[in-house]
Each structure stands twice: as structure tokens, then as C-alpha cells.
Chains A and B, each alone.
Chain A
Amino acid sequence: MISEERVAELIRTAVDAVPVEPPPPATFRARATARRRDRRRAGRIWPAALAAAAVVATVMVATVTLPGPSTVPGEESTTYRLPRELAGSSSATTPVSQDPPGRAIALFNQGGHHVVLATDGVTYRRLDLADQLGAALLSPDGLTVIVSDPARTTPHVEVVDLRTGQAQRFSFDPPLAVRPLAWSPNGRRVAFATQVSPTGNSAGPAGVSVLDLDSRRFVQVAEPRPGTAGGLVQAAFIAAGSAVLASAGAEDGCTLRVYQVDPPKPAEPVSVDGPVERCREVVTLAVHPLDTATLVAVGERYGNILRLNFRGDWLAQTRTTPPSIPLSSGDRLLGWSGRDRLYATLGSSVEEFTLEGGYDRVLRFPAVSDGPDLVTAFQLATDLMPETTVSDLSSGGWPWSLRRSAAVAFLLLVVTAAVLVIRRRRTA
């Protein structure tokens, strides 16, 4: 075997044969000095970079975590405001669940979305829950919206608080397809058209049920009336909410019946008004705020003709029955304004008109006949109207959540740009 010494000698010979030409040592010293300078320069940049990063991080964290404005949009105004013309659909930038608008002055459908308008007159929010379920009704004080699904049977309805954006669920049994019809004047009860088997367009026959928000009781107060399919059941509370005045949809004679709520007697109306000759359907109704008698403005359809008529004992109220007023298809009563005036949607506007037939325009809808800006199913928080002023208002700025997201996106953009610039300079 070859000895260890021989192996060592062979290794030395083989390794010595590897030619090595050392560069001048000054080259390494120069490179070492240059690297030291680079490190010093980098050391000078670090504090500034760290400070900038700290500022950016602080701003971002503060932007994301700090709460938004202390007051919600609808609560900012001490007086309520309505715009002369509603804004287009692009103004409803965020949903109620994300950015609650506070007290609302109006609720309407625009481009297939339910939209609430806050009492500042400029804040529009999409009522996302209503977009999911299909039907919504704004309370007279503008603080709450009842939301339900009229197209399928469900065991509950939702009550959305516009100050928090939170929904509270009210359950009932058995499940029903329900469409909200009217709030009681005190905001405690809500009347619904109810169907055991939904008819798709929620037209009759349908019964009427009342939900008491305090006791959470859901009781049927009127039975469905056979032969009334094709029209929507209409209802309104009377006698401070202890009774419901209801029409039965497309019922010949446009009969109005009063049903008791406490206790309910669904098969036995307390009183009946009608039939009216040649009247085919009640399309809208609004009960006069007078407590001592039931006076009603009723939109009635006679064939293809729609008219607003007035029922009840007007003579006993020391005045003659107001004259009939022509309506168009789609016109709806929004509520009374005091004792002598009514709010109604007439065409593409909301009008306040007197019982003698005079009109005052309250607001206009966007001037379109179709498309995403088209407004339908307009509702007004009528309790707020006496303290509401109408003025030229443009829609408000971005909501807080969008501003926050935009701020974060902007900062990220700045940081990314800065990093790119720094890297480019280094490679240069």
C-alpha cells in the first residue's frame, strides 16, 4: 500500500501545480474601503427610512383602526333637509350595514337597489338587506326600516336600525310570504300582507297580519278574501294603531274594511265601507290623521282610469268631501301633511297637494325613463316633513369606509412607488 507520506507528497505536488496569480493587494484594500463607505452611506439612510416607515405605518394603523366621524350623517343636521332633485344611483356608494346613515328622510328603489336618503339630504346608502329580501318600509320617524321577503315563505322579518346598521330579527310561525304595508303612527306596530303560498308578484289573495315590535307578537288581523287575485292588498292603521283599515286587492267594489287588532278577529271586520260602483281595485290609501273619524284618501282604479277619491264622513267634519283628483299609473300616496294637504308621488316627482287640487312640487326624481337612475317605490318619513326644508343639494362626499380604504390604498401606492424608486437607484 502506498504510504501516507507518499500520499502527502502527491497531494502537495498536485496542489502546487494549480497556478495562482495573486492580484495586487492594493486592489483588495481599495474594495474594502469602498464597501465600508457603502455601509456608512446605508447606515445614514436607515434612520430616515425607518422614520418614514414609522410615519407611514402610524398613519395607516390610525386610518384603519380609529373610528369614523363621531356622528352619523343623518344625525348631523338639526333640521331635516330634502334635495330638490334626487341624485343618481352612483351616489349610493356603500351599504347601510357598513356605513349607517342615521335617520332617513326617504327610502326608494333606484336601479334595482333599495336606497335610503339621510336627513342631511346628501347622504345616500344602499339598504343591502332589502336588496337581498325584496321589500322594505320606512318608519314615519325615519329611524327604522322593516325588511321582508314577499316572494317566498320565511319564518321571520328583519328590522333595520338606520343609526347602527344592525338588523333585528322578529320570528313567527308558521312561515309566510310577507310584504310590509304600513307603520302605526306611534311606530310600535307594522301591518303586513301575508300569504301562505306566495304568488310571485305578491298580489292577492292575501291576509293582513300585524307585528307588535314591543311584545314581538305576530297576529293575523284579516283573512284573505277569495277572488281578489291580481291586485295588492293595501292597509293603514287607524285609531292610534288599535285597528287596521284594509282593502283586499283587486276586489270589485273597492271595499274597505276595518279590522280590530286587540284582540284580532280576522273573519269579522268591525266596519265596512263600500262597495263603490264600477271600482275595480284600491291602489293606494292614506288615513287622515284626525282621530275622531276615519277619513281616507283612496286611489281607485276604474278600468284603465285612476282617480284619488275621499271617503268617510267629511260633512261631519264641517267640510264638503274634497273633489276627485286624477292619478296616473304608479302614483302613490305617501301620507298626509297636516289636515288639508297630502304627499304623493305623481309621475317623476313628489308633490304636496291641497284637497282643492293645488300642487306644490317637493322634489324631482332623476329625469330618466329607464336605467340605473330610475326611481320607483318612493317612501317618505312623513313625521319629519314639518321640520324639513327643501333646497338645492348635491350628493355628499365619500362615506368614511371608502375614504379609509382610499387612504390605505393611496399610502400603499406611495410606499410601493418609493420602494421601486429606491431599488432602481441602487441598481443604477
Chain B
Amino acid sequence: MAGVDAFDAVYAAQYAPLVRLAYVTVGSMPAAEDVVQDVFIEWYRRIDQVEAPAAYLRKAVVSRCSSWVRRRILERRHAGTFDQPPVVPPDAGTVAVRAAMAQLAPRYRMALFLRYYLDLSVAEVAETLDCPLGTAKSLLHRGLAHLQAHLEDR
């Protein structure tokens, strides 16, 4: 039962951010939900072996999203545009940020999300993206510069 409780607790805390991470990366809500749900199922199968569930889940989501993007299945289907999430119509600032993010490559989007939404350190971003620290810094620097230029223009 301890495993069930732990699962429920982590699930409650991490599901939404991870779906958003996946959505920012792949640009499709159904695909993002599929990725995150599969990751949670895989984690539950080996829940006893995973010491840091949040980091494990983040890395797994990034890895699966990268695979999806690499296979270009999602890119062909969604062609660099974000599905418009239903229910709440976005304000002008949100639309501008989404438009600016959509112009970035998925890896830049992931780096910016991890750094500025999840408040991870640059080192944690590098670990999650499974890349050197310098690469993570470069991704963040260029991604931020792009957003700053894009949002300033508006």
C-alpha cells in the first residue's frame, strides 16, 4: 500500500507539469497525455527501484518526447503549431509566448520550460536533457534571446 500512496502523491504533484512539459515539446495535447501516462505506468511497474521519482519522470518524459519528435510523427501531424487547448481562451500575452515558443526547436522549448516553469537549476536542466552543462547554458541563452526579441517586438 505504501507504493500506492507514493504513486498517488507523486502523480498528484507531477502529472500536470509533466503533461505541460510534453505539450510544450511535442505541441499536441493528446500526444503529451499519452507520453506522460505511459511514463507513469512504466514508473509504477518499477516504483520500488526509483529513488527520485520527479527527476526520473522528467527525464523519461523528455526522452520519450525527443523520440517522438525524432521520428517526426508528431512534427508531420502537428507541423510546428500548438493545438489550441480547449475551455479557457488565452490572453494576448499567452498567445504571444506560444507563438514565440512555437518558432523554437523542441529541445529549446524543453530547456526553457524546465528552467523557467519548473524552476530547475541549469545543472538540473542539463541532467534532465542528458546533455553537458555548456549545452544546456547555450540552449537557455539562445532560447531566452529568441523570446526576448520576439516578445519585445510586440
A interface residues with partner B (beta carbon < 8 Å): 1-2, 4, 7-8, 10-15, 17-20, 22-23, 25, 28-29, 31-32, 35-36
Contacts and interface: CB of A to CB of B under 8 A. Distances in A.
12 contacts: A1-B152, A4-B144, A7-B144, A8-B115, A10-B93, A17-B88, A18-B29, A19-B88, A20-B16, A25-B7, A28-B40, A31-B37
A19 B11 contact: no
Contacts of A28: 7, 11, 37, 40-41, 44
A6 to B, nearest CB: 8
Q: Is the interface of B mostly helix, strand, loop or mixed?
A: helix
A35 B4 CA distance: 17
Given A13-B97, A20-B20, A29-B4, A2 B116 contact: no
A13 B94 contact: yes
Nearest to B152: A2
Contact of A20 (B19, B45, B90): B19
Contacts of B112: 11
Contacts of A4: 144, 148
Contact of A7 (B12, B23, B88, B116): B116
A29 B93 contact: no
B117 interface: yes
Interface of B: 4, 7-8, 11-12, 15-16, 19-20, 23-24, 29, 37, 40-42, 44-45, 85-88, 90-91, 93-94, 96-98, 101, 112-113, 115-117, 144, 147-148, 151-152
A31 to B, nearest CB: 5
Nearest to A1: B148
A21 to B, nearest CB: 9
A19 B33 CA distance: 12
Contacts of B115: 8
- Which secondary structure characterizes the binding site on chain A? helix
B113 A15 contact: yes
Contact of B98 (A7, A14, A20): A14
A8 B37 CA distance: 27
Contacts of B7: 25, 28-29
Contacts of A12: 116-117
B144 A22 contact: no
Contacts of A14: 90, 93-94, 97-98, 101
Contact of B15 (A10, A15, A22): A22
Nearest to A5: B116
B113 A11 contact: yes
- Which of A8, A17, A29 has the most C-beta atoms of chain B within 10 angstroms of its own C-beta? A17
A7 B44 contact: no
Contacts of A1: 148, 152
B18 to A, nearest CB: 9
A22 B11 contact: yes
B113 A2 contact: no
A348 B67 CA distance: 79
Contact of B16 (A7, A22, A29, A35): A22
B98 to A, nearest CB: 6
B64 to A, nearest CB: 15
A25 B8 contact: yes
Nearest to A34: B41
B45 A32 contact: yes
A31 B19 CA distance: 18
B138 to A, nearest CB: 16
A19 B116 contact: no
B148 A2 contact: yes
